[in-house]
């Protein structure tokens, strides 16, 4: 293992350089300690309640792999059907403790290096990795992004891309060809609520893979050995969307808790639809900064509900319908 791989740091310049060089960085105290502790307590309470009410979404086993909820027919993603790790979706709906994370904290300055000046939240959830879960397959967080194409060859149409079909052709020779690669379109901020180690299922990463110019393929990449991104509570791993990574396997008795915020540009469709799915009583409590992050600000005329000059959309407003003079 290289001694140059990222280590936890509070130096923003060092973190940004790690992100540029290796495709990820480890940022200490990414959010204030009190916010981290409050989020941890609220998350445990929410997870237990969803479990008790049979609302829990559980994956992370050999038969319940992440990403297969639409690919393979399944009875359910529950522990009694093979699920192990627990996911908590749509955290903005589930407590002010999570909305407090959506602020101009230290992580935000680093994430913007990848996404840019007007990021939006694609998803905001949590992953509780428990003992017995299996390691997630390596993947990128922008598998849907069209790859650069050779002008002499055919291409996979953008609207035909799926989780199982994202490369028109796979070629071993492109693994180290960095001349023509896709730009990063998303950045993941994974906050280690109770710390991460190899043993408790810390995120496995392939340093430098953001410059490989392609997505991982099991048949081609069986010899690649990822390493664990490790850090103390409150540390965050911030990734370039092209980085190869996946949840590790927790072999300890204590669940590993992580909050994951995926950011993307405002021109992309987010994973979670906050303009529809956010509870209405929360809208009045959001500040403009949070509204923009959750997709309520109109960007260059996109995302509007009518007038392209509007600043924020108003979900309570009834759009103009059929009119007659």
Q: What are phi and psi of 131, to 5 degrees?
A: -60, 135
Stretch 11-17: mean pLDDT, rounded? 97
Percent of the chain with pLDDT over 70: 88
Q: Domains in the chain: how many in total?
A: 1
Residue 236: pLDDT band (50, 70, 90) is: very high
* Tens-place pLDDT, residues 44-60: 999 999 999 999 988 86
This prediction's pTM: 0.90
pLDDT digits (tens, 9 = 90+) for 109-122: 999 999 999 999 99
**Residue 171: exposure state from Cβ atoms within 10 A (0-12, 13-18, ≥19):** exposed
Residue 73 has pLDDT above 60, yes or no: no
Residue with tokens 């997709």: 295
Q: Could you tell me what percent of the chain has a pLDDT over 90?
A: 65
Determine the pLDDT at residue 223: 84
Is 307 within a domain? no
Is there a contact between 204 and 247 (Cβ–Cβ < 8 Å)? yes
166 within some domain: yes
- Comparing 229 with 149, the larger pLDDT belongs to 229
Query: Can you give the pLDDT at residue 325?
Result: 93
- Listed range (144-148, 176-180, 254-258) with the worst mean pLDDT: 176-180
How high does pLDDT run on average in the chain? 88
Q: Residue 224 above 70 pLDDT?
A: yes
Enclosing domain of residue 111: 12-293
Whether 172 has a pLDDT exceeding 50, the answer reads no
- R_g (Cα) of the chain, nearest Å: 20
Average pLDDT value for residue range 88-107: 95
The domain that contains 51 carries what CATH number?
A: 2.60.120.620
Q: In which order are the strands placed within the sheet that holds 120-129?
A: 24-27, 236-240, 186-192, 256-264, 120-129, 85-88, 57-59
Could you tell me which of 321, 294, 323, 295 has the C-alpha nearest to residue 306?
A: 321
Q: Is 317 a member of any domain?
A: no
Q: Is there a domain that residue 304 lies in?
A: no
Mean pLDDT of 25-49: 97
Alpha-carbon distance of 67 to 235, in angstroms, equals 26
Per residue in 241-268, pLDDT (tens digit) is 999 999 999 999 999 999 999 999 999 9
User: Is 285 within a domain?
Assistant: yes
pLDDT tops 60 at residue 296:
yes
160 — pLDDT class (breaks 50, 70, 90): confident
Q: Determine which of 58-67, 137-146, 262-271 has the lowest per-residue pLDDT on average.
A: 58-67
Can you give the pLDDT at residue 251? Answer: 95
pLDDT at 175: 46
> Would 104 be classed as within a structural domain?
yes
Local structure of residue 256 (DSSP, 8 states)? E
Handedness of CA 237, 242, 243, 249 (dihedral sign): positive
User: Is residue 298 domain-resident?
Assistant: no
| Tokens linked to 67 | 């990403």
The residue ranking higher by pLDDT, 294 or 134, is 294
Residue 268 domain flag: yes
Are 156 and 167 a contacting pair, CB within 8 Å? yes
């Amino acid at each position: 293992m290289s001694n140059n791989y990222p280590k936890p740091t509070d130096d923003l310049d060092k973190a940004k350089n790690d992100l540029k060089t290796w495709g990820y960085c480890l940022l200490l105290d990414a959010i204030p300690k009190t916010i981290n502790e409050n989020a941890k307590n609220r998350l445990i309470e929410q997870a237990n309640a969803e479990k008790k009410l049979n609302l829990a979404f559980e994956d992370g086993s050999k038969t319940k792999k992440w990403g297969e909820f639409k690919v393979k027919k399944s009875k359910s993603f529950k522990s009694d059907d093979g699920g192990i790790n627990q996911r908590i979706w749509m955290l903005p709906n589930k407590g002010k403790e999570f909305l407090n994370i959506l602020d101009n904290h230290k992580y935000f300055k680093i994430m913007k290096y990848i996404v840019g000046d007007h990021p939006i939240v694609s998803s905001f959830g949590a992953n509780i990795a428990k003992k017995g879960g299996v390691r997630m397959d390596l993947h990128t967080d922008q598998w849907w992004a069209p790859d650069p194409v050779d002008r002499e060859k055919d291409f996979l149409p953008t609207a035909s891309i799926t989780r199982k079909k994202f490369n028109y052709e796979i070629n071993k020779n492109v693994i180290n060809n960095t001349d023509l690669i896709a730009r990063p379109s998303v950045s993941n901020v994974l906050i280690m609520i109770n710390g991460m180690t190899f043993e408790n299922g810390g995120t496995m990463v392939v340093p430098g893979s953001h410059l490989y110019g392609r997505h991982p393929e099991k048949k081609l990449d069986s010899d690649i050995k990822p390493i664990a991104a490790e850090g103390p509570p409150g540390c965050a791993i911030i990734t370039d969307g092209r980085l190869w990574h996946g949840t590790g396997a927790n072999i300890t008795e204590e669940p590993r808790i992580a909050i994951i915020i995926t950011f993307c540009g405002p021109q992309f469709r987010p994973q979670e639809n906050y303009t529809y799915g956010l509870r209405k009583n929360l809208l009045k409590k959001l500040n403009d900064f949070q509204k923009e992050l959750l997709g309520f600000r109109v960007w260059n005329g996109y995302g509007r509900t009518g007038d392209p000059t509007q600043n924020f959309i108003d979900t309570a407003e009834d759009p103009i319908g059929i009119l007659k003079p």
